[in-house]
Amino acid sequence: MATVESPASPQLRSGVEPLRAGQGSSFIWRKLHSLLGIVPIGAFLLEHLLSNYEALKGPLAYGNQVKFLNSLPMVRVLEWVFIFLPLLYHGLYGFYIWLRGKSNVVYYPWAGNWMYTIQRYTGLIALAYIIQHVWRQRFTGVMLPENPYYAFHKVQVELSNPWMLAIYVIAMIAICWHFAYGVWLFAAKWGITPGVNARRRFGYVCIALGIGLACLGLAGIFAFVGPWYPSAPIPTP
């Protein structure tokens, strides 16, 4: 029988905490993460893939594009405010989101759950790839802002290593996947596509977006390793 000494109700472990209604600031940080994935990061991804596509027109055209981008007003400020800092924030906070989730796709192998998991791995690939890419192409070696016409050569040397080429191809696909599904996620979470049919149809749009971007990006990569400009010399404008 339950007495004061031996209460009938057992001591329970604490479980998941209830909602902290109206408390804290995670809402703003999480929404910022989500928004930054679209603008400026997604917008920059588009610009970057389009710029790299210029490489198909040859070393000179590519150099001209690099020169044009570096002639934008306050380009160093733009670079930090619209590219590096948002990427760093989205990447690190994304990693933090990942750590706090408890993946269960082995028990519930449903499509949305797979996509949730893949969004995390493709994000990690993106983060690792972007760090080495920015370090090796932007901050070390020949400085492209001052020597824009070395751009084609610099990338070509990098991609002459088959391992590096493989890394670029894998990262390109992973990032395009991450962005395309990210656009879908954004529309779903911000209530742009609340309807089931709207989400399905927008899913097709995002698949097309992902495939289109990946093709664009891979075409840019193959400009450097394809038969068109082997061992291209530094162009003189």
Partner 1 sequence: MAERTVIFEIKRQANPDAPAVWERFEIPWRHGMNVISALMDIAGNPVTADGRQTTPITYDSNCLEEICGSCAMLINGKARMACSALIDNLEQPIRIEPLTKFPLVRDLQVDRSVLFENLKRVKAWVPIDGTYDLGPGPRVYPQQQETNYPLSNCISCTCCMEVCPQFNVETGFVGAATIAQVKLFNNHPTGKVFKEERLRALAGDGGVQECGYAQNCVEACPKQLPLTTAISDIGRDVVVQKVQDWLRS
Q: Which stretch binds ligand HEM (CB under 6 A): 55-63, 142-150, 181-189, 196-204?
A: 181-189
Rank residues 68 and 96 by Cβ distance to partner 1 and give the closer one.
96
At 140, the amino acid letter reads T
Q: Is the peptide bond before 237 cis (omega within 30 degrees of 0)?
A: no
For 72-79, the CB contacts below 8 A with 24+ separation are: 75/145
Q: By CB under 8 A, tell whether 118 contacts partner 1.
A: no
Residues across the chain: 237
Site for ligand HEM contains 56 (CB under 6 A): no
**CA-angle at 105, arms to 18 and 195, nearest 5°:** 70
How would DSSP label each residue in 51-90? HHHGGGG-HHHHHHHHHHHHTSTTHHHHHIIIIIHHHHHH
In the list partner 1, ligand HEM, none, the entry touching 127 (Cβ below 5 to 8 angstroms by class) is ligand HEM
Residue 15 binding partner 1, by CB under 8 A: yes
Tell me which of partner 1, ligand HEM, none is bound by residue 196, counting a contact when its beta carbon lies within the kind-specific cut-off of 5 to 8 angstroms: partner 1
Among 63, 148, 178, 223, the residue binding ligand HEM under the rule CB under 6 A is 178
CA atoms of 117 and 103, how far apart (whole Å): 7
Shortest distance (Å) from residue 136 CB to ligand HEM:
17
Q: Point out which residues bind ligand HEM (CB under 6 A).
A: 34, 37-38, 41-42, 45, 90-91, 94-95, 97-98, 119-120, 123-124, 126-127, 175, 178-179, 182-183, 185-186, 189
